[in-house]
Amino acid sequence: MTKFVKHRDLLFSTLAEINSLIIAGNDKKIIIERLLDCSLTVLDAERVHLLELSEAGIVRYTKSRNLGSVSDLKIQTIEDTANLRNWVMKEGDESRNYQKGEELAFDVPALADQYLEDVSANRTIISAPLVAKRSMFGLLLAIHRDDGTIYTAEDINLITVLANHAAIAVENALLYQKLEKDAITDGLTSVYNYRYLISSLEAETKRARRFKQSFSFVMLDVDNLKSYNDERGHIGGSQALKEIASLVVDNCREIDLVCKYGGDEFGILLPQTGIEGATKVTRRVLRAVARHRFNNENPGLLTCSAGISAFPRDGQTVSDLISAADKALYQAKRSGKNMVLTTEDLIEELTE
């Protein structure tokens, strides 16, 4: 009985399961782990790796087997060097033609020993590239157990099937993640969109109510954007909004959520933060905008005004909190702009 026939049911069930995981929107990690589990068995391997190439670096996913026990998935970002990338690309590009009596596994170079964890000379290794849309973005590798057995042409075919499916699975998983991100992200500014803001406010309201905590919400509006657009065009105005969004994110805390609320308005959710803390963060944001050189011109060309509300004092619902912050923002605009106004009527005009 050939290895393919022996493991055919497992192979086909794994491919079907991975298709289901993709459709269900499961993340890349779950999909890769299932592929490596299958690879361990159908290739009778001691260890399997998936090396993923990306702009951020090289990520190694590893599953291994020892005395019948399969390890947990290990994920590690490894040193990204030109030599390593060249080796990965070379292994992915090389074609291996099987001739009876010849060993298919390639000689393991020093790089493999360094990056694939204790690959001794008496072990054999085979690989197949992960290629999607004619672009290689990874390598699937199987390291055989140290029992004198060599890989065969059938093993090459199996790892190629698995690598091809891995490429499609990973590509689809990344596409799904991108679609998910696009659904909650503002296309112009790359911050979260109105839909995500409302759902986050609803979730935070429930959480704060349950644990009897407070949080603040900021409505921020760009001052004089219309006149800026009239003088520099809508392209210039769009660029200014991108820069403002970046300034807001950079001057908020990691726990704060920055979203696009409307045309030139932003909403900021500050979890577990009272009015005083929210005012401090908002003043820092407004100062950063006022000092920024838009279009390489003098600072102060564009500024922002802001209104702040707090849960539970200013409202028990999302709509009440937004309404309260909006009223404070409106008053800040009327009072001279480039100001922070809270629902406690604490108005502070920013100074240089």
pLDDT by residue (tens digit) across 80-124?
777 777 777 776 665 444 444 444 444 455 556 666 765 555 567
CATH number assigned to the domain comprising residue 337:
3.30.70.270
Assess whether 148 and 221 both reside in one domain: no
Single residue among 138, 157, 183 that ends a domain in this structure: 183
Assess whether 178 and 41 both reside in one domain: yes
Mark the ranges of the chain whose per-residue pLDDT is less than 50. Answer: 95-107, 346-352
Is 306 among the domain residues? yes
Q: How far apart are CA 173 and CA 64, in angstroms?
A: 24
Question: Which helix (H) or strand (E) covers residue 219, if one does?
Answer: strand 215-223
Yes or no: say if 195 and 206 are a contact pair by the CB < 8 Å rule.
Answer: no
pLDDT of 53 reads 82
- The DSSP bridge partners found for residue 55 are none
> What interhelical angle do 153-184 and 28-42 show, nearest 10?
170
Looking up tokens 């190629």, which residue turns up? 160
Assess whether 198 and 276 both reside in one domain: yes
Is 189 among the domain residues? no
pLDDT of 88 reads 72
**Any long-range contacts for 182-188 (C-beta under 8 Å, 24+ apart)?**
186/245, 186/259, 186/260, 188/238, 188/241, 188/242, 188/260
Amino acid, res. 152: T
pTM score over 0.85: no
Is 94 among the domain residues? yes
250: which 2 tokens? 């950079």
Q: Angle 8-10-15 (CA atoms, 0-180°, nearest 5)?
A: 95
**DSSP annotation of 107:** P
Assess whether 82 and 176 both reside in one domain: yes
Assess whether 175 and 237 both reside in one domain: no
Is 188 among the domain residues? no
Q: Kind of pairing, strands 135-144 and 125-132?
A: antiparallel
Assess whether 82 and 125 both reside in one domain: yes
101: which 2 tokens? 């009596």
Assess whether 220 and 333 both reside in one domain: yes
Is 113 among the domain residues? yes
Assess whether 288 and 174 both reside in one domain: no
Is 48 among the domain residues? yes
Single residue among 140, 155, 183 that ends a domain in this structure: 183
Q: What are the percentages of helix, strand and coil residues in the chain, rounded to 5? A: 45, 25, 30
Assess whether 200 and 318 both reside in one domain: yes
The total domain count for the chain is 2
List the domain range (segments joined by +) for residue 337: 194-349
| Catalytic annotation, residues | 264
132: which 2 tokens? 């999607």
Tell me the three state secondary structure of residue 119: coil
Assess whether 173 and 219 both reside in one domain: no
Assess whether 329 and 266 both reside in one domain: yes
Single residue among 159, 183, 207 that ends a domain in this structure: 183
pLDDT of 118 reads 57
pLDDT of 58 reads 85
- Which three-class secondary structure string do you get for 6-33? HCHHHHHHHHHHHHHHHHCCCCHHHHHH
64: which 2 tokens? 């291994």
> What interhelical angle do 153-184 and 194-211 show, nearest 10?
80
CATH number assigned to the domain comprising residue 66:
3.30.450.40
From 55, 57, 44, 62, select the one nearest 116 (Cα to Cα).
62
Assess whether 146 and 210 both reside in one domain: no
